[in-house]
Structure formats: structure tokens, C-alpha cells
Amino acid sequence: MNISKEQLDELNAVVTVDIAKEDYSDKVDKILSDYRKNANIPGFRKGHVPMGLVKKQYGKAVLVDEVNKLLQDALNKYLTEEKLDVLGNPLPKEQENFNWDTDNYSFEFELGLAPKFEVKLNGKKAITHYKIVANDEMIDNQIKTIQKQYGKLISKDTAEKDDLIAGTFVNEEKEIDNATTVSLDKIKGKKNLDKFIGAKVGDVIKVKTKGLFSDDHDLISALKINHDDAHDLNVEVVFTVSEINTQELADLDQDLFDKLYGPGTIKTVTDLRNKIKEDAERQFEQQSEQQLLNDITENVLENTKFDLPIEFLQKWIRATGEQPLTEDEAKDEYEKSEKGLRYQLIEGKIINDNNLQVTFEELKDFAKELIKGQMAQFGQNSPEDKELEDIAARILSNQDEVKRISEQMMSKKLLTYFKENAKLKEKEVSFDEFIKEVYK
């Protein structure tokens, strides 16, 4: 057997595998001999079928199967030994007039090679690393929400601002008939609000759906309609009042603090505000870190330039797709996936150049920390190490879980690397400012 490579350019090559009769003949003869011993062919005793008949019936299929096995093993071994970094898989070249009736065979494979490049982590501008803080307004709103949640409802005769009005929205044409409770602080516009203020049980209120609520999601909930219908809905609905309540806020006292966080954990309103701020900013940190990872990814893609074997990759997409694709369809698929492929190559180089690979021990320790965090949510703050080991072992026996946790770990490692090496500028913002800046 002989394998040779023709380098067409930096990104494309052709590998030729020459297979001679002596490479496969012994294996084929042995398999046919075994077939002869076990073949059941009418007119012949078992084990006495003429070899010529066995070769005629099975010879070609066995030959093709064994040559293909030999070919794949040899090609994979060659790519490994030569340390060829290929994209996709080798593609067999079409060979006209290929003849299985000869003794020696030659096969050609096209290769798309990964480009050589240097990662450009930093562009001209520093990347913003947002530090999202819980401001006083957010903390005030959270405290009010808590007070409402733990407060009590008091029935009223007449609706006033910020009351809760229960009733039924109806529109026969759109088949709307939904009993709900409306919080008047969510009604949009003075004109709409004035129709509800002063209402009594049994009153009928007619309003337009367009612009009724500040948030479309409130309209979806109030009318029980789907998301798509809510956006452009502009019809008149009839709301019949069935109940009016005001919400008496819970007192900010020790009883409430103990209900929220356990006995004695929080003792003053200042403690409560600090706890809310701490919890909120811990959640914000996850969003900030994810945004930083997204922004650095875009930055690296923009600044790291290299060529790809585009023609080969489009051909590979056509050859490996679940459904047959035209050239134009394969081109579209390539364009959709090109950005992801580029980042995959960049990420792989960063991982290899900086030894960021995830080891099994790291994976197990990371899984145990995740388990401890989940157990803490249910009040189990000091699990025994053996219990953690057993749960981690069960989780890591599931390949899907291993993949999911490995990806989490790798994202964490990459983020640490980026923080240490990228040009960053910290910017302190409120959550609303963060949303405004990031999502424009």
C-alpha cells in the first residue's frame, strides 16, 4: 500500500491511496474460506461447496467490503501520523471507469485544510465590561413587590389608582371571554385609567385594546390571546367589574424578614436593602459575564482574519447533508455556518495554545460545586463528600450531561482568559441602562 499527498495550495490537497492485491488478498481468501465452511447451498453438502461457486456468489461483495475497510483505516492513520488538520472529512473524488475486476486500485480524496493564523484578541477600541448595579429605584420597587406579595387584599366599593379590579373581558368577534384581575398601575394612559377609576362592582367599561397596557405581555394575560395576535390587536372590549380590592402592604418588620430569609438573618430595613442589592447584583453578574463573552467573541471574529477552503466546504456540505442540496443551497448553508466555523477554529487555537483543556478531575470538581449549589437551595448546606461523589458519578455517566457541563466549564475558562488578556474598560450601569445599551 502506498499513500501520497499533492498539495494544491495552503488550504487544499489531494491524497492518493494505492492498494495492491497483496494488501487484501489473504483477508478476502480467509473470509471466503469461512463462507465455504458454513454455506448452505442446495445440491451441496455443508462444507463441500466448490470455492469457485462461493467466489462467484460472494467474492465481489467481500472484496469491496475489505478494500473499503483497509482504505478507511489507512487514510485515518495517515491523517493522524501526518498531523493534518482537516476541515470536515476527506471527500472521495469521482473516478470514471473505475473497475473492481482488476487486482490493484487507486483512490483519491480531496482534503480541506485548516488555515494557519494568529488570534487577534484586541482591536483599536477597548471592550466594555459592564458592572450592573442595583440602584435605589430598583431596590425600592423590589421591596414594594415583596410588601404586596406578603400583604393582604381589602375589598372596596369604588376603584382608585393602584387598586386591583377583577372582571371579565369580552369581544365576541375575536372570541375573547376571559376572567382576570387587572392592576390599575399597569393601565397605560390617563384616558384609559380614568375609565377604571371610580368604577363600582357591576359597572361595564368599554376600552380599545391598542395601547391599553404598557406591556404587550399584560394584554396577552388579560385577554388570554396568543403572542402574535397581541401586537396588532385593535378592537373594543367590554370589561364587566366583579370585584374591587386594594392591597394593604405588609409591614417591614421582623416577622416579614424572618419569612423571607429565615429567623434572625435580616434585622433591619437597611439589612434588607443590602441583601436585595447583593442577590440582584449576583444575578446581574451572570448577564454581564455572558455579554462580555459575546462582545469579545464578536471582537475576535472581526479582528482575526484568515482564508478558508470555501469551495471544498461547500462541496462537503452537499455530500454530507441529510437531504440532497443544489450548489446554491450548499452555498447558502455555508454562508449561514461560516461565522460559527471561524469562531470554532479561533476557540480551538486559543484552547490549545494556552492549555485550557478540561480534565476529568476538573469536570468532577465542577459538577460537585454545581450539585452543592442546587442542594443549598433546598436547605442542604453541608452535604457529605461521599454523597457528592456518588451524585457526581451518576451525572457524569450521562454523556449529554458531560457535554453540557464541559461546555459550561470551557466557557468559564475562556472568560477568565479573555479577562486577563483582552483590552477591557469597566462601565457601571443600572440594569435598565444595561438593557438600553446592549439591546438598543
The structural domains of the chain, ordered by start, are 2-113 (3.30.70.1050), 152-248 (3.10.50.30), 267-439 (1.10.3120)
Amino acid at 145: T
The CA distance from 93 to 11, in Å, is 17
pLDDT in the model for residue 115: 96
**Cβ-based burial of 191 (10 A; exposed 0-12, middle 13-18, buried ≥19):** exposed
Which of 335, 359, 307, 316 minimizes the C-alpha distance to 117?
Answer: 307
The CA distance from 360 to 362, in Å, is 5
Cβ atoms within 10 Å of 336's Cβ, excluding its own: 9
Place of cell 483512490: 107
The CA distance from 329 to 350, in Å, is 32
pLDDT in the model for residue 384: 84
Q: For residue 103, what are the CA distances in angstroms to 69, 99, 107, 346?
A: 16, 9, 13, 45
Q: Are the CB atoms for 145 and 126 separated by under 8 Å?
A: no
Q: Are the CB atoms for 46 and 40 separated by under 8 Å?
A: yes
pLDDT in the model for residue 426: 95
Measured in Å, how far apart are the chain's first and last C-alpha atoms? 62
pLDDT in the model for residue 51: 81
CA atoms within 13 A on the CB side of 407: 6
Q: Are the CB atoms for 16 and 107 separated by under 8 Å?
A: yes
Q: Taken in order 174, 180, 186, 188, is the CA torsion positive or negative?
A: positive
Q: Can you give the pLDDT of all 440 residues of the chain as single tens digits? A: 899 999 999 999 999 999 999 998 999 989 888 877 777 777 777 776 788 887 887 888 999 999 999 999 999 999 999 999 999 999 999 888 888 889 999 999 999 999 999 999 888 899 999 999 999 999 999 999 999 899 999 999 999 988 999 999 999 998 999 999 999 989 999 999 999 999 999 999 999 999 899 888 899 999 998 887 887 889 999 999 999 999 899 999 999 999 998 899 999 999 999 999 999 999 999 999 999 999 999 999 999 999 999 999 999 999 887 888 899 999 999 999 999 999 999 999 999 999 999 999 999 998 898 888 888 777 777 788 888 889 989 999 999 999 999 999 999 999 999 999 999 999 999 999 999 998 87
What is the 8-class DSSP label of residue 357?
P
pLDDT in the model for residue 386: 87
Give the helix/strand (H/E) hosting 181: strand 176-183
pTM: 0.73
pLDDT in the model for residue 204: 96
Q: Are the CB atoms for 129 and 292 separated by under 8 Å?
A: yes
pLDDT in the model for residue 383: 80
pLDDT in the model for residue 230: 80
Roughly what angle, to the nearest 10 degrees, separates helices 269-303 and 254-261? 40
Task: List all residues 6 or more positions away from 437 whose beta carbon is below 8 Å from its beta carbon.
Answer: 130, 429
The CA distance from 14 to 68, in Å, is 18
pLDDT in the model for residue 50: 80
Strands 424-430 and 127-133: parallel
Length of the chain, please? 440
Q: Are the CB atoms for 111 and 84 separated by under 8 Å?
A: yes
- Main-chain dihedrals φ then ψ at residue 84, nearest 5 degrees: -85, 120
